[in-house]
Amino acid sequence: MKMYSGPITQEEMEKDFKLFIHTSLQEGSFLERFLKVYQHMKRLGNLAVSSCEHLLQNKELMSYLEESKFDAILTDPVIPCGVILAEHLSLPSVYFLRGIPCGLDFEATQCPNPPSYVPRAFSELTDHMTFLQRVKNLLFDTQNLFLCNFAFDPFSKLASDFLQREVTVQDLLRKGSVWLLRLEFVLDYPRPLMPNIIPIGGLNCAHKELPQVGHTLFSICVVIDFCVQEP
């Protein structure tokens, strides 16, 4: 394991995450909840971009990663720093995620996500909707356009500057080799999946033994994007 210093302390990071979770669980009107969540997401987004920038500008660490000749990168693409790094190192990427805000995972994998059947965030609807509820769900879906812009545009700019060519986060996400999706259909709505998407929701519920598949050595770089200052 290699550690590197980041732009925030452990205490600051935990405080921001706890505030975000507390705000997300509060009751209230859609507008009140949306504005509060937006403010906290913007704060966390700025910290994530700053942390990613520190990683990509760490010449010693980048040289180590380039020289190590890893076979793949395992990362959570909700903070797409590992996605940018995989493109820079020309490595296949394995995504380990619960989901990506504003439905970007659906777009990147080209999975169907019709608002007529799939409830959107904050709508409090189910997959059984009347016509008017479907209209409401469609209106709630428009927030995704706004959320995607403010959440991922800074990463698109960072990736374009670092890779020295114009790219978007969605362009980079499409190159994911395997998506390990932490979905559990007992709790989540069933959804169509592409062949390279593997549901592993039970991973968080009980310990499972992995099957033994040969003895081929396989080196993988695990990218954890939120890093804090050293004491």
* Contact predicate 57/158, CB 8 Å: no
Name the pLDDT band for 211 (thresholds 50, 70, 90): low
Query: pLDDT at position 28, please?
Result: 75
The overall longest dimension of the chain from CA atoms, in Å, is 57
pLDDT tens sequence across 4-21 = 877 888 888 888 888 878
**40: closest CA among 12, 8, 17, 6?**
17
In 136-206, DSSP assigns E strands to 178-181, 197-199
Using CA atoms, how far residue 210 sits from 12, 110, 128, 172, 203, in Å, is 36, 29, 37, 29, 11
d(CA 179, CA 188): 17
**pTM of the predicted structure, to 2 decimals:** 0.78
| pLDDT at residue 229 in the model | 43
